[in-house]
């Protein structure tokens, strides 16, 4: 270095100059320097208004004050290193100046040529993952002289620029946010002002899968273990609360290797047919932003064999007697219901309602001895897998009691005239109401009548016309079968007997008995003249005859006339009722009746009649014989009840023949002459009495043909 100076009173003095360094951004040995950084040193405390500072690339230029660097604030060096000359001029004394120098040296700026890669990790939503950020060192140090630089990591751009708050352990860094930006500072080891920065992103791609419960399905597989499952039913459990279908994807696999590799997913997971039971299914959930971030979980498909009711239970029925006390063995349906592959793995129960069967509650305690509460009644059966109560099937069947009862009828005894054949017609159907009783009728039950117990028990050969049946023997047993229309196998049989009692048939009906009387004595009738024989009864020896005053007594057999052979009627006309009853069965009888009549007649003494002759001297006269009619009738008879006739001879009167034609003008035939009078009862003309009286004719006195006039005084002038 060469110096020149002039000694005078105003000699300038350059202070200590600093060598300058600048960052070489592109490693070409050239940097941009701000030479004016040395202005204050060059002034050395003098007033800048008095001093001019210039920079030169050579000492000579500085001494000569030629070729000053035109842009000292942005000077690019031309050599490395390079000396820069400073000229210090006093404005007042131009010959007074000072020259000094300093060096400028380009310092390599560690330019990060290769952008660091963003770093990712797979996480589990805990934000506890740690990053080794120094794996980006190699990329960041893609600089000319990596040995001349130091790398630091910072949380903010400001810290990176300032070179402060470097992350202490970048090889084991847990981010506070996700994602998070990290800033790298590459600083020249010799000059902390020479640095570059860049950034990259830390991101955790969270993924998790929750513990999954096995999928169980109740199905009828025939023990193949194969049935359809909807695997996607696990999706919500797999996703949990932190994931959904927009952020993550789920796939199902039949092997762990496929799940790890993300290959061969089950194509239709919502309708997957299992291949075995149990079968392990692997589920892979992966982050949509980074499919390499995934989690695996497995669960089992378990097929629980559903008890298949192969044969629907049959309806059960019993024959009852209206007591509702019949006991059903419901378990007789077990064999049919348990037409299943594994009956030993099946629990079977019976229930009164569908709800109980579905819930598996309130099972019938003793299905072997079940008494229904209703008739009919529906029973619900539940077949349940013994290993899983939720795997069951139900069915129902009906139990019904077909009630039937045959009430014991009375024997039928018929009283009939059979001519000793013992046969007659019976209306067997008169027993229907008794046999039916109050609980049955023709809409619910059927009745048939049979001539043998075997036929009745088997329902064979019913009597075709039971309302007009002729017995074949006497007595004859009849069996009646009553059966339930709903179930003809439910029947009951009772028997009764037909008996025919010979009825007395009166072939000779009695006629009226009558007697004549005279108003003074009651005649005696022998009613027994109408005995069984006289009545023409064939079985007279088996017939008891009684006589009664009323039809009611004859029908009941009450108040028989005690001495029918000497019966005196209380009235002139009475009806007598005959009861002819079988001596072996008093209820078998017939009745008939006849009348007894008393025809009273009497004749009182007649008056003789005397007439004068007719004047011809013939001793004859015209007589009114009927003048005796009232006399002979007396007080007890009259012309409405009795007839009075007159006769010329007693035989005619007794015989009631040749009565006098006109008894009111009878011309006597002799003088005196006996006339016979006959009084007969109009009710029975055989009841009569006769009497006689005389007719006599007396000569008449001579007649004065000119008698004198008779004159009397009329005292009161009334003409009389």
pLDDT of residue 1: 42
Q: Is the peptide bond before 179 cis (omega within 30 degrees of 0)?
A: yes
Q: Tell me the mean pLDDT in the region 549-567.
A: 97
Query: What does the alpha-carbon distance between residue 629 and residue 604 come to, in Å, rounded to a whole number?
Result: 10
Q: How many residues does the chain have?
A: 720
pLDDT of residue 23: 87
Would you say 424 and 471 are in contact if contact means Cβ atoms under 8 Å apart? yes
User: Does the pLDDT at position 41 exceed 70?
Assistant: yes
The CATH label, of 2.10.240, 3.40.50, 2.60.40, 1.10.20, for the domain at 412-502 is: 2.60.40
CATH topology of domain 215-305: Immunoglobulin-like (2.60.40)
pLDDT of residue 162: 95
Q: What is the average pLDDT value for the chain, to the nearest integer?
A: 91
pLDDT of residue 311: 83
Residues 6+ apart with CB under 8 A from 236: none
| Six-digit token string for 384 | 């349940």
Closest to 582 (Cα-Cα) out of 691, 499, 483, 652: 499
Would you say 591 and 415 are in contact if contact means Cβ atoms under 8 Å apart? no
pLDDT of residue 5: 44
pTM above 0.75, yes or no: no
The share of the chain scoring above pLDDT 90, in percent, equals 72
Residues 6+ apart with CB under 8 A from 216: 302, 303, 304, 388, 390
User: Does the pLDDT at position 7 exceed 50?
Assistant: no
Domain pair 119-206 / 412-502, same fold: yes
Q: In terms of CATH architecture, what is 119-206?
A: Sandwich (2.60)
pLDDT of residue 2: 43
Closest to 53 (Cα-Cα) out of 32, 67, 38: 38
What is the CA angle 297-300-301, rounded to 5? 135
The CATH label, of 1.10.287, 1.10.3470, 1.10.8, 2.60.40, for the domain at 316-403 is: 2.60.40
pLDDT of residue 382: 95
Q: How far is CA 294 from the centre of its chain?
A: 54
Query: What does the alpha-carbon distance between residue 452 and residue 460 come to, in Å, rounded to a whole number?
Result: 9
pLDDT of residue 710: 58
Q: Tell me the mean pLDDT in the region 299-311.
A: 86
Positive/negative CA dihedral, 123, 126, 128, 131: positive
User: Does the pLDDT at position 361 exceed 70?
Assistant: yes
Q: Of the given ranges (6-20, 94-108, 160-174, 197-211), which has the lowest mean pLDDT?
A: 6-20
Three-state SS annotation for 495-544: EEEEEEEECCCCCCCCCCEEEEECCCCCCCECHHHCCCCCCCCCCHHHEE
Beta-sheet pairing, 75-76 with 32-33 = antiparallel
Higher-pLDDT residue of 342, 85: 85
Tens of pLDDT, residue by residue over 48-71, are 888 899 999 999 999 999 999 999
Tens of pLDDT, residue by residue over 168-210, are 999 999 999 999 999 999 998 888 888 989 999 999 999 999 8
Distances (CA, A) of 502 to 302, 477, 478, 505, 593: 89, 18, 20, 9, 20
Domain boundaries, the chain: 20-108, 119-206, 215-305, 316-403, 412-502, 525-599, 609-698
Would you say 299 and 234 are in contact if contact means Cβ atoms under 8 Å apart? yes
pLDDT of residue 219: 83
Residues 6+ apart with CB under 8 A from 669: 620, 648
Query: What does the alpha-carbon distance between residue 484 and residue 403 come to, in Å, rounded to a whole number?
Result: 7
């Amino acid at each position: 270095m060469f110096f020149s100076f002039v000694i005078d009173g105003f000699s300038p003095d350059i202070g200590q100059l600093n060598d300058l360094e600048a960052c070489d951004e592109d490693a070409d040995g050239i940097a941009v320097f701000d030479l004016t950084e040395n202005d204050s040193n060059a002034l050395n405390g003098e007033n800048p208004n008095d001093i001019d500072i210039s920079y030169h690339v050579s000492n000579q230029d500085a001494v000569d004050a030629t070729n000053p660097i035109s842009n000292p604030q942005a000077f690019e060096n031309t050599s490395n290193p390079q000396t820069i000359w400073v000229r210090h001029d006093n404005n007042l004394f131009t010959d007074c100046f000072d020259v000094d120098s300093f060096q400028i040296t380009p310092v390599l700026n560690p330019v990060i040529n290769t952008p660091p890669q963003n770093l990712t990790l797979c996480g589990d939503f805990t934000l506890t993952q740690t990053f080794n950020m120094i794996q980006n060192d190699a990329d960041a140090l893609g600089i000319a002289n990596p040995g001349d630089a130091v790398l630091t990591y910072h949380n903010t751009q400001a810290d990176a620029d300032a070179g402060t708050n470097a992350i202490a352990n970048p090889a084991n860094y847990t981010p506070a946010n996700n994602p998070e930006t990290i800033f790298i500072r590459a600083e020249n080891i010799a000059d902390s002002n020479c640095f570059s920065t860049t950034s990259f992103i830390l991101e955790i791609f969270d993924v998790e899968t929750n513990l999954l419960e096995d999928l169980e399905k109740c199905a009828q597989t025939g023990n193949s273990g194969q049935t359809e499952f909807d695997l996607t039913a696990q999706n919500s459990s797999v996703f949990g609360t932190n994931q959904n279908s927009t952020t993550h994807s789920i796939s199902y696999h039949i092997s762990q290797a496929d799940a790890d590799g993300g290959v061969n997913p089950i194509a239709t997971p919502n309708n997957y047919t299992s291949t075995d039971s149990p079968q392990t299914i692997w589920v892979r959930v992966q982050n949509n932003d980074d499919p390499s971030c995934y989690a695996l979980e497995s669960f089992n498909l378990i097929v629980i064999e559903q008890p298949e009711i192969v044969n629907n239970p049959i309806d059960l029925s019993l024959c009852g007697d209206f007591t509702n006390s019949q006991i059903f063995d419901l378990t007789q349906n077990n064999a049919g219901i348990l037409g299943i592959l594994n009956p030993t793995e099946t629990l079977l129960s019976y229930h009164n309602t569908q709800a109980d069967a579905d819930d598996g509650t309130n099972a019938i305690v003793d299905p072997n001895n079940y008494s229904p509460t209703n008739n009919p009644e529906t029973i619900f059966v539940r077949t349940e897998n013994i290993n899983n109560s939720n795997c069951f099937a139900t069915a129902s069947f009906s139990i019904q009691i077909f009630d039937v009862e045959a009430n014991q009828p009375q024997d039928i005894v018929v009283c009939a005239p059979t001519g000793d054949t013992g046969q007659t017609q019976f209306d067997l159907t008169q027993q229907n109401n008794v046999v039916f009783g109050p609980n049955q009728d023709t809409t619910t039950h059927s009745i048939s009548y049979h001539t043998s117990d075997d036929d009745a028990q088997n329902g064979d050969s019913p009597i075709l016309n039971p309302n007009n049946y002729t017995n074949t023997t006497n007595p004859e047993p009849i069996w009646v079968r009553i059966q339930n229309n709903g179930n003809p196998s439910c029947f009951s049989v009772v028997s009764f007997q037909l008996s025919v009692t010979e009825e007395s048939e009166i072939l000779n009906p009695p006629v009226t008995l009558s007697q004549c009387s005279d108003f003074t004595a009651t005649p005696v009738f022998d009613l027994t003249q109408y005995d069984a024989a006289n009545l023409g009864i064939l079985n007279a020896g088996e017939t008891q005859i009684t006589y009664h005053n009323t039809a009611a007594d004859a029908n009941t057999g009450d108040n028989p006339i005690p001495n029918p052979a000497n019966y005196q009627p209380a009235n002139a006309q009475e009806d007598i009722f005959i009861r002819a009853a079988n001596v072996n069965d008093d209820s078998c009888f017939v009745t008939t009746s006849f009348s007894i009549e008393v025809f009273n007649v009497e004749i009182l003494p007649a008056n003789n009649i005397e007439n004068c002759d007719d004047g011809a001297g013939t001793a004859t006269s015209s007589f009114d014989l009927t003048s005796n009619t009232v006399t002979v009738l007396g007080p007890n008879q009259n012309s409405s009840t009795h007839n009075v006739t007159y006769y010329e001879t007693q035989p005619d009167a007794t015989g009631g023949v040749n009565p006098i034609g006109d008894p009111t003008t009878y011309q006597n035939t002799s003088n005196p002459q006996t006339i016979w009078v006959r009084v007969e009862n109009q009710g029975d003309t055989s009841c009569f009495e006769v009497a006689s009286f005389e007719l006599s004719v007396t000569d008449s006195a001579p007649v004065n043909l000119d008698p004198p006039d008779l004159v009397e005084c009329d005292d009161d002038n009334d003409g009389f």
